[in-house]
Amino acid sequence: MPAFGFRIDRAIKALRQDLNRRFKRNGIDLTPEQWLICYKLYQAHSGLSQNELADESYKDAPTISRIIDRLVMKKQVAREPVQDDRRRHKIRLTDLGISTVKSALPLVQENRTIGWEGLSENDYNDLCRLMDQLYANYLEG
C-alpha cells in the first residue's frame, strides 16, 4: 500500500505554499498557522483562552503560545485578563486582526477552490469521512 502519510503531507504542503503566496501577493502578513488562529478567534467573537485555541486547532500549548506571541507583536490579537482570574487571559482579535481576516477570507476561498478543482461534493465528503476515520484509528491505538 502506498504511503498515505506522504500523500497527506504533500497535499498539506501544497495547500500551505499556495496560501502563503496568496497572502504575500496581497500584503497579508500571516502564515497559514497564524491564519487558523485568527479565523478561530473571528468565529468565536468573544475571544478564546489559549487552551481553547489549542483544542480548536489541534496544536499543543507551546505552539499556540508562540503563534499568539507573534500575532500580538503584529498587533493582530490582544491578550485580555480574565476578570475573575488574573492568571488567565482571553485572546481576542484586534480591529487590525478583524480587518486582516476579512481581507484574507476571499484568498482562503480561492485556495480551497483550487484544491477542490475536478472533485465532487461526494469526493469531499468521502475524504472528510476517511480523514476522520484515520484520526479516530490513531486515537484508539
Range of the domain at 61: 4-140
Strand positions, DSSP E, the chain: 77-82, 85-93
What does the alpha-carbon distance between residue 141 and residue 135 come to, in Å, rounded to a whole number? 10
User: 45: which DSSP letter?
Assistant: S
CATH code, domain carrying 83: 1.10.10.10
pLDDT at residue 1 in the model: 59
The number of distinct structural domains making up the chain is 1
- Tens digit of each residue's pLDDT (9 = 90 or more) over 59-104: 999 999 999 999 999 999 999 988 887 778 899 999 999 999 999 9
- Tens digit of each residue's pLDDT (9 = 90 or more) over 108-121: 999 999 999 999 99
Q: What's the longest Cα–Cα distance across the chain?
A: 54
Bridge partners of 77?
93
What does the alpha-carbon distance between residue 79 and residue 93 come to, in Å, rounded to a whole number? 9
Those residues with Cβ within 8 angstroms of residue 88's Cβ, 6 or more apart along the chain or in another chain: 49, 81, 82
Instruction: For residue 67, give the nearest of 101, 99, 94, 30 by alpha carbon.
Output: 30
Cβ-contact 67, 33 below 8 angstroms:
yes
Cβ-contact 25, 113 below 8 angstroms:
no
Q: Whole-prediction pTM value?
A: 0.89
- Tens digit of each residue's pLDDT (9 = 90 or more) over 13-64: 999 999 999 999 999 999 999 999 999 999 998 899 999 999 999 999 999 9
